[in-house]
Structure 1
């Protein structure tokens, strides 16, 4: 924007304020017309004052021999008024997603800060303080974060779960049809045990560290609904019913089908599901069946794409399928397991404490407590089951629909991968029960925000993952410029590169 002298046909000179944008010039204001050079100079000064008074900035472009010097001087003055440069592109997006879920109802900005920071750069609470300051110019002390974790545990945990469930119901049109349940283990960088933290079967291979068990309930598309944590040594099959019962009681829902893998196929769970009038689909432990049912399973032809069904004595339905791909995987896994056994026990000796520590130990023949060998008959028996998979249900769904819904369990597995990978739920560095509970709740909220951003990206037709979007967004800067004449602040988010511009649909969607 600059003052221009424009020669007229009449011989006079017009002094106008001109703006140059996109290679085009636009006259914004005519200051005056004169043929007297002194008067023209006065009009030029008046034009510059007009720019200052109306826009709060200095003239950024000039004509004449002093134009370059004045331009440089104006640019330097503008740069000297830069208040801050923030690497906050990811925050601008995540703040909007956080609000769209409804977590702003919690009414505490500390929660927002630590959720956004965890998605941008998961790290310890101490390192989060520094990240918030250096990237977002937010002064949040470590003590405030710790105090907030206590507040989250004491008063806000139920609120955030309610907000999450209400949003999920809105997204799914008011009804949840499937509840998928599974568990995982979260370990500590500690060997200290207490009531909650104990050694147990670790899904992360951390056999020495203490751990807790996390049970997670999600619905279609992997939206999280509820969770609970248990003692690290808790038998995982006993964790399912308490969470489902609590979810049903709190939200008054019962028109859904519970889906769980064969690890939860124990007599007690099935009886409780049936007595609670729950519909369910559970992976069957087909090798545990005896008598006529076992004979029937082993007599089935190994045909791809067929569904075999049998009514059980308790009224449930057993559905069995065969897959050549699954058969190849079963054979490969068994072969690798036997090879590990042969190498581990090549001497033919074993101590009692190692008997159950190796996979496929069922193929060992143990004599006199210490002498071991590979039982080839057991291997032959196991081969009969290659490729077979069973499902137990009390629903009226068609067999192919039962199998299809059961395969939806991958959404829970993916939730655990994201939680452990992107969000880094573990290792856990807290030691008190309330802080551990609050940390898990925080990660639950963070995963919900992640899933909502994923949904929005999909709906906008952007062929990008959440991780890719956040990686790009973290390089987007916002410049804050002080306008000294009117005392206000000018803020501009800079989409400079082609990657930055690929996120424009997202910024436009949120009005950022």
Structure 2
């Protein structure tokens, strides 16, 4: 048995052949057609397929119950790759009882004739394993073994409308299921905002032009506000018009926490983009506390005097300091200022909040601040050499270090602004209304804000939530429901693995799931399955999820039995 390359129609084809003797002459017969050589060259699984096929042929000639005589090329079909790893997510899907919820809602006074559970799950796993358009999802639906359902393209689009209509109830349901199933305790909530762009320049009620965090200047966008718990699992989200500024999203999110999830006692952790005085007032009036970054350079003269006065600074205790050294550098100190934050609402009425302002200094941050400033100063000098680029001067980026010369229209380097910023190197401030929290706890909670930043990175890169190609508002919103479900499954799987001592990144999880494939072939009308070699943490994932892997070689019917047992 050997691999043979033949020429046909201008291409080279790879085939597995064997020699046999007939009437005293040596002849060859084709056992398997791999396909075109140019498409197989970069496929690392190719050599494994050859080896496994060799094992199959030997088995078929020694096992009388499976005996197959291959007489010609037409007896063997081309190989088809079928993913079975999706059953990991299907098991989570059913443990969260998403299937039950969707089936119940699809029959509640609606004229939905397709299987909303299966269509929703198809779009969700496609978003997880290989994000693509709904049209390509439809064309690729048969790649999942045992999932060859009679689904048409229109059902995918109609399902998006359906998901949009039940989004609010689905969120509440999933929050309750997570709390019951995983004993989820929500005492700290991280909140942040990002923008998601469209391949379009047509604005409407939801899509609009605004400040893009993806630097997409000429494309419309929506603003996404996301809530995650301290384990990095999503709690809920809201969509806002693309021109909504970060600080204006807080009211709706707080209403969601209070009314939908009935969460009464939490601390909200957010970055400085959400730190407006009105937001802090709204948080406290809702009965919640906050930990937010403070705009130190905008602080009062009295506060700044305290910041730069070295007396009163403390180090963290030895144990905490050693743990924090990698984060903060070889020198880290802090000072706590107790103060009353006086806030005036739109009507001029005063509202007082007792809070702690935690001033920190980090040598690691000081080095970074210096490097960032020197880079901007260098760019500012380049602008001075090319004065035509200093039109419409704004005090942003490198332009913050330029100023007009007195009585002229010429620009010069603003040495005073450079020296002023230099004083703040290494300093940072966090304000909190949770006065009974230790400094270590406050700093730890704020440092964990990276979890939501990581969440946005995962959603934008791994799940490829952007760009969006849908145009109706309902289907745009339905698309986000699919992304939310995919993100929830992924984060839940990470959480379960972490609890079992298996730290596996989002990328490695998806690589492992994507490698769980069958090679499906048909010999004389009978289908067989060869298990492809898995990658990364596949074994750990299966063991933790209590899923027994398939045999190396099975009939099609045995494969269906394997899928049915493990769903």
1:228 match: 238
1:69, 1:401 → 2: CA distance?
Answer: 67
Match of 1:361 among 394, 399, 404: 399
Match of 1:75 among 68, 75, 80: 68
CA separation of 1:498 and 1:149: change in aligned 2, threshold 3 A: closer
The question of 1:508 aligning with 2:503 is answered: no
Per-residue CA distance 1:208-229 (angstroms, 9 max, x = gap): 2111111101111111011111
2:531 match: 494
1:76, 1:163 → 2: CA distance?
Answer: 55
The question of 1:193 aligning with 2:203 is answered: yes
2:476 match: 436
CA separation of 1:287 and 1:355: change in aligned 2, threshold 3 A: closer
Q: C-alpha displacement at 1:491, in angstroms?
A: 8.9
* Residue pair 2:196, 2:223 contacting (<8 A) in 1 also: yes
* Residue pair 1:86, 1:478 contacting (<8 A) in 2 also: yes
**SS across alignment from 1:397:** coil
The question of 1:322 aligning with 2:361 is answered: yes
The question of 1:209 aligning with 2:219 is answered: yes
Match of 1:388 among 408, 427, 435: 427
Q: C-alpha displacement at 1:195, in angstroms?
A: 2.4
Taking structure 1 as the reference length, the TM-score comes to 0.78
Per-residue CA distance 1:451-494 (angstroms, 9 max, x = gap): 11212333444453343233233233347899x9xxxx999783
* Residue pair 1:349, 1:370 contacting (<8 A) in 2 also: no
1:71, 1:424 → 2: CA distance?
Answer: 50
**SS across alignment from 1:287:** helix
The question of 1:452 aligning with 2:489 is answered: no
2:274 match: 264
Within 5 A, what are the aligned runs for 1:103-182? 103-105=98-100, 106-107=102-103, 108-136=117-145, 137-154=148-165, 156-170=166-180, 173-182=183-192
**SS across alignment from 2:256:** helix
1:271, 1:453 → 2: CA distance?
Answer: 37
The question of 1:416 aligning with 2:416 is answered: no
Q: C-alpha displacement at 1:350, in angstroms?
A: 5.4
**SS across alignment from 1:96:** helix
**SS across alignment from 1:129:** helix
2:413, 2:514 → 1: CA distance?
Answer: 55
1:251, 1:286 → 2: CA distance?
Answer: 34
2:530, 2:62 → 1: CA distance?
Answer: 28
Per-residue CA distance 1:364-409 (angstroms, 9 max, x = gap): 2135795322101110011111111111111110122111111111
The question of 1:93 aligning with 2:88 is answered: yes
1:299 match: 309
CA separation of 1:299 and 1:276: change in aligned 2, threshold 3 A: same
Q: C-alpha displacement at 1:109, in angstroms?
A: 1.6
Q: C-alpha displacement at 1:305, in angstroms?
A: 3.3
State how many pairs are aligned: 443
Per-residue CA distance 1:20-79 (angstroms, 9 max, x = gap): xxxxxxxxxxxxxxxxxxxxxxxxxxxxxxxxxxxxxxxx999xxxx96885981348x9
The question of 1:102 aligning with 2:97 is answered: yes
2:76, 2:386 → 1: CA distance?
Answer: 78
1:236, 1:454 → 2: CA distance?
Answer: 29
CA separation of 1:61 and 1:151: change in aligned 2, threshold 3 A: closer
Q: C-alpha displacement at 1:502, in angstroms?
A: 5.8
* Residue pair 2:61, 2:67 contacting (<8 A) in 1 also: no
CA separation of 1:434 and 1:72: change in aligned 2, threshold 3 A: closer
Larger deviation: 391-400 or 94-103? 94-103
CA separation of 1:342 and 1:75: change in aligned 2, threshold 3 A: same
2:528, 2:543 → 1: CA distance?
Answer: 20
Q: C-alpha displacement at 1:438, in angstroms?
A: 1.2
Within 5 A, what are the aligned runs for 1:397-412? 397-412=437-452
**SS across alignment from 1:434:** helix
